[in-house]
Amino acid sequence: MRKEYSHPIEVTMDVVCGKWKGVILCHLQQNDVLRFGEIKKLLPKVSQKTLTLQLRELEADGLINRQVYPQVPPKVEYSLTEYGKDLEATLTHMSEWGKSHVEKVELNG
């Protein structure tokens, strides 16, 4: 199951490079705690199944906590772990870079 990595950045990329993982992490960074449905509203284009999958993977990799309340209807809250918070600077930096990239592309038509 465990892969061989030739460079440590591959590990991070493995963990962060799902189609929605970056955005999910950013939102959790800004909101502390979010319920499943709230995340879904923040990412209107993601499907139920895929969102679940991305969250489970982030959980398995130790980036987020999944707190289940035994209620009906169910309530599940997600938040960053301490470990996930170590990525905050990186995520912020990636967002900034993305912002300037968009601006650059818009300038060059």
Rule CB under 8 A: which residues touch its own copies? Answer: 2, 5-13, 15-17, 22-23, 26, 43-45, 61-62, 83, 86-87, 89-91, 93-102, 104-105
Count residues binding DNA (CB under 7 A).
24
From the centroid of its chain, how far is CA 71? 26
Q: Which two tokens stand for residue 46?
A: 């993601």
C-beta of residue 12 within 8 angstroms of C-beta of residue 84 = no
Stretch 8-67 residues interacting with DNA (CB under 7 A): 18-20, 35-37, 40, 45-50, 52-56, 66
75 binds, among its own copies, DNA, none (CB under 5 to 8 A by kind): DNA
Least distance from its own copies to the Cβ atom of residue 95, Å: 5
C-beta of residue 61 within 8 angstroms of C-beta of residue 11 = no
Its sign, for the CA torsion 79, 85, 91, 96, is: positive
C-beta of residue 80 within 8 angstroms of C-beta of residue 63 = yes
48 binds, among DNA, its own copies, none (CB under 5 to 8 A by kind): DNA
